Amino acid sequence: MKSISRRLFLFSFLFFLLASAAVAVAAYLGPPVAAALAAVGAAAVCAAALREIIRRLIFVPIDMLKESLTRLKENKTERIYGIDNDDEIGRLSNSLQDLFSQGHYDMLTGVFNRKFVEETFPRTVSAMSRSKSKISVFMINVDFHKKYLEAYGQNLTDECFKAVAAALTRGMTRADDCVARYSGDEFVAILPDTDETGARVVADKILANIRGMNIEHKKSTVADHVTMSVGIATATAQSDQKWDMYFKRAGEALARSKQNGRNQYTFLELE
């Protein structure tokens, strides 16, 4: 709205200059000639000003929105242009964001979201049960995330979570492995066809990735940098298994990691 006001002010100022020039011309050429010149000049100024306003208010924002949507295909963390604008472009951008968030990706981190996990994991269990393969599920919690938020604010917390998601993704070893943001400070990792040995290798890797980023966390009581606690549940897939049992057991393992001092992982077999 401020940009529109500035353009209207500029238009009014130009019109004032034109009117002043018309008054000066009238003193020499007479009112009829001055009026004609003023009308022609006013029409030219109005056309140019209107064209520029339309370009800046409509075509430029639409082009930028198109460019951000194109980048979104390659980078799921791309911020949709105009998301905070209080205008038609902003409302369009917010609608696009809603559609995106209703899909399978977390808007902040770009990894999968809870909806994706709950829709696809039952099918994973069913598929793995045919070959009696092992499945490992990780529940991952950023240690003292509330204290981090209090100390560093929302923007840095968002950046921290993006970095954590990227570190977790780098820790996955196969194309079928996936990372998802399960809740505010909680992530999950699903590793099909992965037994205890493989799960422990991945757990060591992601813990090392998080520590290696060395993101300052002055409010943590276990380290001077961001850490995480991990719970792992592994079982042989069975056709009659309830898929949420994996997450329940992994959550129990996560609770033990926290009880034992955080910044570590705990492994439990599915009972």
Q: How far apart are CA 36 and CA 17, in angstroms?
A: 16
Q: Is 49 exposed, middle or buried (0-12, 13-18, 19+ CB in 10 A)?
A: middle
pLDDT at residue number 110? 87
pLDDT at residue number 103? 72
pLDDT at residue number 206? 97
Q: What is the sign, positive or negative, of the torsion defined by CA atoms of 243, 191, 97, 63?
A: negative
pLDDT at residue number 44? 60
Contact 143, 262 (CB under 8 A): yes
Q: How far apart are CA 102 and CA 95, in angstroms?
A: 11
Residues making up the chain, counted from first to last: 271
Place of tokens 């990706």: 105
Q: Which of 113, 206, 122 is nearest to 168 (CA)?
A: 206
User: pTM for the complete prediction?
Assistant: 0.65
- The segments of the chain whose pLDDT lies below 70 read 1-102, 271
Q: Residue 157 corresponds to which amino acid?
A: T
Contact 53, 45 (CB under 8 A): no
Q: How far apart are CA 246 and CA 251, in angstroms?
A: 8
Q: Which of 11, 4, 83, 3 is nearest to 48 (CA)?
A: 11
